[in-house]
Amino acid sequence: MQATLYNQVGAEVGSVELNEYIFGITPNVPVMHQMMVLQQANARQGTASTKTRGQVAGSTRKIYRQKGTGRARQGGIRAPHHSGGGVVFGPHPRKYTKHMPRKMRRLAVRSALSAKQADGQLRFVDTLALEAPRTKGMVEVLKSLAPGAGKTLILLQDKNENIIRSAGNLPNVKTLLASYLNVIDLLTYDTVVVPQAALAHIEQWLGPTTAAQAEGEA
């Protein structure tokens, strides 16, 4: 499976061979959705908390007698319908953590990558480098690689401070290490810029050899 290879000024410099096991499968939409729900759930802090009527401050004395007043019966001022009273069925600290088998997690990422490749939203570049942190320089690179693109995700093999800081002030651009590649970022951004070093890491991580090893370990 061939894809066009660009340099960072947008000129074609050749082609790159893509692993069909990663970039050429039929996307499994249910698994992608399940992985997206898992990521969103695992990102929740679960610290929301409310107090019940037994926890709020206030007297437990009956406000007035049960009968003979002509008013509705009342038990105490900490009841939920009173101002400052307790909350009924409110949230309490809990864990929202979800789990998925490793094989399914990798399938979800491979499905997202295959969908991006099928839609022509992956830009493979030989190298991506800037001599110094410069937002204008990053803007020029992105205009060359992905003209007219909306949100852009830049994958990196290793931390590159010049690239990260140059893209930091751009509102629709995000830099991400290839080892942290995930479904939500792939689906959120319109164009994904993939240097060859990052591509090598992705193919090593998600390739069939690694999958076979993982199944053997399981």
Nearest CA to 66 out of 57, 56, 74 is that of: 74
Is CATH 3.40.1370.10 correct for 2-44+98-217? yes
203 within 8 A of 106, measured Cβ to Cβ: no
pLDDT by residue (tens digit) across 128-184?
999 999 999 999 999 988 877 789 999 999 999 999 999 999 999 999 999 999 999
Measured between alpha carbons, how far is 16 from 19 in angstroms, rounded to an integer?
Answer: 10
Nearest CA to 45 out of 85, 96, 83, 86 is that of: 96
pLDDT by residue (tens digit) across 20-68?
999 999 999 999 999 999 999 999 999 999 999 999 999 999 999 999 9
Above 70 in pLDDT, residue 212? no
Measured between alpha carbons, how far is 206 from 22 in angstroms, rounded to an integer?
Answer: 7
pLDDT by residue (tens digit) across 105-121?
999 999 999 999 999 99
205 within 8 A of 179, measured Cβ to Cβ: yes
Domain extent listing, the chain: 2-44+98-217, 45-95
Give me the sign of the Cα torsion angle 6, 185, 181, 114. negative
